Every structure is written in C-alpha cells, then in structure tokens.
Amino acid sequence: MRSIMAFAALLLTMTACTQVPQWTLFYYPDAAPGASAETLISQGELDQHISGYYQQLDQCLAKGAGMMKLSQTGRGSYLCGERCQRNEAGELECQRLEIPVSQ
C-alpha cells in the first residue's frame, strides 16, 4: 500500500513539473512606462523580449511589475501573451496579449 501511495505522489509531482505554461512575459527595459501593446510589439520580434513563463496571468503580471520596480532607469514596460507559439513563418504569435491597466 505504501509503495502505491509513493508512486502516486511521484506521478503527481512529475505531472506538475511538465505542465505547459499558458502565459509568456515580454519585458521591454527601454520602453516608456505605460506604452501600448502595439508600441511594444513594434520594437522588434517578440521572442527577443521573453522574460519568463507562467501558468496564470496574475503570476505573469506580478513578475513584470516586479521587474519594473527593480529597474534603476525609471523606464520599462511589459505585457503577457497567452498560449504563444510559432506560426508557419517562424514568427511568435500569441492568442491574446494582456498589458497591465496601470504601470
């Protein structure tokens, strides 16, 4: 019985470690605070600005806000993309982009 429970616990742990992240943080250290998503995206390819992967939107937004607080330049902006994947042309596309209400 103990071995079955240990196996089940191991299986749950392994499953938790292999979950695909839903949200990608894109951080732009030189952008003006509060920049629109369109402005940020126009600064270059999305994949050059990836700063982390998160399961939930609030985790992604919190990390972006933390990175801005740590910035010593007073500049920077970020957005979070949901389910980002490469298209047939090799470009990174997200199903949805979220930018914080106030930065």
- State pLDDT tens for residues 30-88: 888 778 888 888 877 788 999 999 999 999 999 999 999 998 887 889 999 999 999 99
In a domain, 7, yes or no: no
In a domain, 12, yes or no: no
Global confidence as pTM: 0.75
In a domain, 103, yes or no: no
Count how many domains the chain has: 1
In a domain, 10, yes or no: no
In a domain, 41, yes or no: yes
- Ramachandran area for residue 65 (φ above 0: left; ψ -120 to 50: alpha; else beta): alpha
Q: Which residue range forms the structural domain that includes residue 80?
A: 20-98
In a domain, 39, yes or no: yes
